[in-house]
Amino acid sequence: MENELLLLLSFVVIYGGALLAYRLFGTHGLYAVNALATVVANIEVLIVINAFGMEQTLGNVLFAVTFLITDILSENEGKKAARNAVFVGILASVLFLLISQSWLLYHVADSDWAMPAFQTLFSNTPRMLFASLSVYAVSQIFDVWLYHAWWKLTEQKSGDSRRFLWLRNNGSTLVSQLVNTILFNLIAFWGTYDTATLVSIIAAGYVVYIFTSLLDTPAVYIARKMKERGKIPSAVE
């Protein structure tokens, strides 16, 4: 159960960290967490573990928090702010790709011990980041669009813009994360793992996303309550 406990702990820390960043720094805090998550998730995803009876890659919780962030921004700050978070994540990934690949071009000193590990780790990073960049852009922009499409529909049906937050949150996230899971794993791991393992990774990843999506709904409600109570700093503070 050690892996399961670590995953649950990472969920609490990462989602709690996103809410804390929003409380302390407003939209800028969420942009920072989003940039960090998109970069670190592409390193974590290289690690395959067994947890909850399934073979899966790490990085699922970090990828999931980016959907939480765009949903919070969509709900509280508007569509433009949510799309800006997506663009910040893309920029962070591009910069990390350029920087990490430049490390491998250096001629190291005889006393160096780190470069072999860096070469092993970051030789696969370009493919991971290409998969992440392309799929992240598609799935996140789609998620923002679908969130507001659900919002418009529920407001028309109920006449109340505040109602059905749980529906627009889960209705957008569950669909966009399915798109994300399938496309990312096919681009990133096709030819790396056999078909059975790849299918298992996709299925396990989406099961984790279902879990994180359902549990991020309370986080969105908490974020909205903080915004309504004036607890979130403005962008100029």
What does the pLDDT look like over 30-48, one tens digit per residue?
A: 999 999 999 898 788 778 7
Average pLDDT, the chain: 88
Per-residue pLDDT for 93 more than 80?
yes
Residue with structure tokens 């820390």?
13
Other CB atoms closer than 10 Å to residue 121's CB: what's the count?
12
Q: Which residues 6+ apart lie within 8 Å of 139 measured at CB?
A: 176, 177, 179, 180, 183
For residue range 189-210, list pLDDT tens digits in order: 787 778 888 888 788 778 877 8
pLDDT of residue 237: 46
More confident residue, 124 or 113: 113
Quick: pLDDT tens for 159-175.
Answer: 888 889 999 999 999 99
pLDDT of amino acid 22: 97
> What is the residue-wise DSSP string for 120-160?
HHHTSHHHHHHHHHHHHHHHHHHHHHHHHHHHHHHHHHHS-
Structure confidence at residue 4 as a pLDDT band (50, 70, 90): confident
Backbone angles phi, psi at 49, to 5 degrees: -130, 170
Q: Is the pLDDT of residue 128 over 80?
A: no
Q: How far is CA 80 from CA 22, 27, 70, 86, 197, in A?
A: 17, 12, 10, 10, 39
Contact 165, 220 (CB under 8 A): yes
Task: Quote the tokens at residue 115.
Answer: 């470069």
Residue 124 — very low, low, confident or very high, per pLDDT cuts 50/70/90? low
The pLDDT tens digits for 145-158 are: 999 999 999 899 88
Write out the CATH class of domain 2-228. mainly alpha
Q: Above 70 in pLDDT, residue 235?
A: no
Percent of the chain with pLDDT over 90: 47
Tokens of 34: 């989003």
pLDDT of 126 above 50: yes
